[in-house]
Amino acid sequence: MSWPAADPCQGLEGDLYARVFAEGARDDTLILNMGPQHPSTHGVLRVLLEMDGEYVMRAEPVLGYIHRMHEHMAQNRAYVQFFPNMGRVDYLHALAWNWAWAGAVEKLAGLEVPRRAEYIRVICTELNRVNSHLLWWGAYLLDLGAVTPIMYAFEDRELVMDMLQLITGSRLTYSSFRFGGVLTDIDTEFVSRCRAFLKRMPERLEMYRELVTGNAILRGRLEGVGVIDQMTARRYGATGPVLRGSGVGYDVRRAEPYGLYHEFDYAVPVHHDCDCMARYMVRMDELEASLSIVAQAIDGLPEGHCIHPDAPRGKWRPPAGEVYFAVEGARGKIGVYLASDGTEIPYRVKLRSPSFSNLSLFAEIGQGTLLSDAVAILGSLDLVIPEIDR
Amino acid sequence: MAILTAPVQALAAVWSMVVGLRVTITNFFKPQETIHYPRQEVPPSHLDSFRGHIELVGTDEDPAKARCIGCGLCAELCPSFCLKVVAEDLPADPTVSYESHNGADQLMPRPKFKAPPPSQAQPRKLLSYHLVYHTCSLCGLCVQNCPAGSLRFSHDVYLAGASRGRFEFDLMERLRGQAAHGGPKGGKAHA
C-alpha cells in the first residue's frame, strides 16, 4: 500500500503486523483488528482480519500479548519451585499441567507414586476437566449470544471448586501435586461431597441438553460451520476435542497411558461431522466420561500414602538426562520436554500447549466465513490464551 | 411428503424453544444460589479450606512464641522470594566442646563427606519473620517443608487493602496479636 506524499494519513498504516498483513490485500477490503481486547477472544488474543463486507477473506492470529516466559522461568528455579507456574499456564485445567510437570520429573528420576496418590490425581484432574468444560460451555454460549447458560454452569462449577478447594486450598490456580504424590490426602467429607455431586450431575446434564443442545437456534449457528476435515486437523497438529470432533479417536489417556488410567473403563467420544457442533458434542460427552472415571476412582480408592515417604523434598538433584511426558488436558495433548544436567535447576524445559496448535487452524478455516461464524469457530476451539503464549 | 418437511422442521424448532423455556421458567422460581456479599456473608464453616496468606503457629506452652527454629528453609524454597527470616544463633552451650572450637579438627585428616556440624541442626532464635504477600503465589512449599511445623495458612477471606504496605506482614507481631486476643492455640499446619 503506498500513500501519496501529501497524504495526511501517511505513517498511519498500523503496526508491523498490520502493514505486513495489508500487503496483498484487495483495495476494496477492510483491514480490521479483532482483539486484543475483544470479549469473544477470551483474553488478549488479537486476530487481524481482511473483511469484505461481513465476510472474512483472510485471518491471522497475532500472539504474544501475555507471554510470561514460563519456560525460561523453569530454567531459573529448582524443580519443585516450578509448580505454581503450571497453574498459571492454563488456568482452566491447571491440574493437568501439574501432572505433566510432576510426571516428567518422576519419569526422569524414576520416582514411584503410591496407588492412593495416583487415584487422588485421577479424581482431581477429572473434576478439573469437568470444571473446564463447564466454563467453556457457558462462555461459548455467551459468545453465541445466550446469556443464561453460563449462570447454570457456574452453579455446578462452584460445587467442583468447593471440593477441589478442600484438597488443594485454591479455587483456580491449583499447585497441589508434588513429585511422588500429592500435597494433601482426601478425607470423608470430600468423598461424600463428591458422591453428592456425581448424583446431581446426570440430571443437570439432561437439563443442559434440553436447554441448549436441542435448541434450534444453536443448531442453526453450529451445524456445518467451521468444518475441519481429518487431514487438516492432523496437518496442524490439533489434539483434544478438536481432533476428536474431526473423527480421530486420539486421546493421550488411551494412546499413551500414564498414571492409572488403564484401570478405568471410560469412553473416548468421537464425532465425525467435523463442524462446530461435533466439537460441542465431544465436550458434552466428555463431561459424562470424566464423571464416570471419578465415580470409579472414588469407589475403588485404595488405602495408603498420599505421597511416597521417600519422595524428594525441597531442592534436590535429579539425575542427568532428558524426558518427554504427555498428558491429556481439557484442550488436548499437554507435553513437557525436560532436559536435566544433574544440577538443582532444569537445563531446558519446553512446554507443548494444545491451544497453540488448535489456534493455528483458525487462519485456514476462518477464510470465507461470516464474522459471526468466525466467532463461533474461535469459541469451538476452546482457546486459553495464557496457554498459547506461555 | 416433501411439502410437509418444512412445516414439520419449523414445528420441531418451536418445540425445542418451548422445552428450553420450561427449564428457564422452573429455575426462575427456585431459591437464589448466590448471596449479596456486603449485606450477607458465607457461613465461616464454608471458609475453612480457604488458603489465605501463611501465618506462624505458636508453641503449645506459649501461643505468643512461634515454633519456628529459624532455619530459613521456607525463605530458601520460596519461588517468589517473598519471605525473610531473621534469626541469630543461640549462645553456645559452654558444656559442649565442638571440634572446630578447640582446634582438634585441624589435627585430623579431613574426610571427603561428613555429616553437617551440630550447630546447623540446632534451633536458632527467631528475631523477626516478614512476609510480602502481594508477590506470594500460595504454592504451599513453605508450609509443606517446614521442619518445625511452624507455618500454616490463615483463613482470612476478606483481606483487602488499597496500598502495598497493607500486604507486608510482620508475622511474629501478628502471632503476638493473635495470642493476646486468644486466637488459635497450637493446631495443625493445614495445607
- Facing A314 at nearest CB: one of B14, B27, B73: B73
Residue A98 has pLDDT above 70, yes or no: yes
Q: Average of pLDDT values for A143-149?
A: 87
- Facing B16 at nearest CB: one of A155, A184, A216: A216
Sort strands B83-89 and B124-132 into parallel, antiparallel or unpaired: antiparallel
- For residues A178 and B123, the model is more confident at A178
pLDDT recorded at residue A286: 92
- Asked if A226 contacts A365 with a C-beta cutoff of 8 angstroms, the reply is yes
pLDDT, tens only, A283-329: 999 999 999 999 999 998 888 888 888 888 878 888 999 999 999 99
Q: Which of A175, A187, A193 best probes binding to B when mutated, by most B CB atoms within 10 angstroms?
A: A175
Which SS3 state, helix, strand or coil, does residue A143 take? Answer: helix
Distance of CA B43 to the CA centre of its chain: 21
**A222/A226 Cα distance (integer angstroms):** 8
Which SS3 state, helix, strand or coil, does residue B92 take? Answer: coil
Phi/psi class of residue A134: alpha, beta or left (left: φ > 0; alpha: ψ in -120 to 50)? alpha
A300 touches chain B (CB under 8 A): no
* Mean of all residue pLDDT scores within chain A: 88
In Å, what is the CA distance from B132 to each residue of B84, B124, B136, B143, B167? 9, 22, 7, 16, 6
Beta-sheet strand order (sheet of A321-328): A321-328, A333-340, A348-352
B73 touches chain A (CB under 8 A): yes
pLDDT recorded at residue B125: 80
Centre a 10 Å sphere on the Cβ of residue A93 and count the other Cβ atoms it contains: 28
Q: Do B22 and A212 touch (CB under 8 A)?
A: no
Residue B37 has pLDDT above 60, yes or no: yes
Residue A261 has pLDDT above 80, yes or no: yes
pLDDT, tens only, B91-129: 766 665 555 556 665 666 665 565 555 544 567 788 888
Residue A364 has pLDDT above 70, yes or no: yes
Residue B183 has pLDDT above 70, yes or no: no
DSSP states along A76-139: TS-GGGGHHHHHHHSSSSHHHHHHHHHHHHHHHHT----HHHHHHHHHHHHHHHHHHHHHHHHH
Q: Which of B73, B89, B159, B149 is nearest to B122 (CA)?
A: B89
| pLDDT category of residue B187 using cuts at 50, 70 and 90 | very low
A210 touches chain B (CB under 8 A): yes
Q: Average of pLDDT values for B62-83?
A: 84
- Facing A211 at nearest CB: one of B23, B46, B137: B23
B residues 14-33 closer than 8 Å to A (CB): 14, 16-17, 19-20, 22-24, 27, 33
Percent of chain B whose pLDDT exceeds 90: 1
- For residues A4 and A307, the model is more confident at A307
| pLDDT category of residue B186 using cuts at 50, 70 and 90 | very low
pLDDT recorded at residue A291: 92
Catalogue all structural domains in chain B, each as residue range(s) with its CATH number.
Answer: 51-90+121-186 (3.30.70.3270)
* Mean of all residue pLDDT scores within chain B: 78
**A113/A182 Cα distance (integer angstroms):** 9
Amino acid sitting at position A121: R
pLDDT recorded at residue A128: 92
pLDDT recorded at residue B23: 86
For A344, the closest chain B residue by CA position comes to B77
pLDDT, tens only, A201-253: 999 998 898 888 888 888 888 888 889 989 999 999 999 999 999 988 898 98
**A305/A5 Cα distance (integer angstroms):** 76
Q: Which of A123, A95, A202 is nearest to A156 (CA)?
A: A202
B residues 101-120 closer than 8 Å to A (CB): none
The interface predicted TM-score (ipTM) is 0.75
- Facing A214 at nearest CB: one of B16, B138, B140: B16
- Asked if B25 contacts B140 with a C-beta cutoff of 8 angstroms, the reply is no
Name the DSSP letter for residue A80: G
Catalogue all structural domains in chain A, each as residue range(s) with its CATH number.
Answer: 70-389 (1.10.645.10)
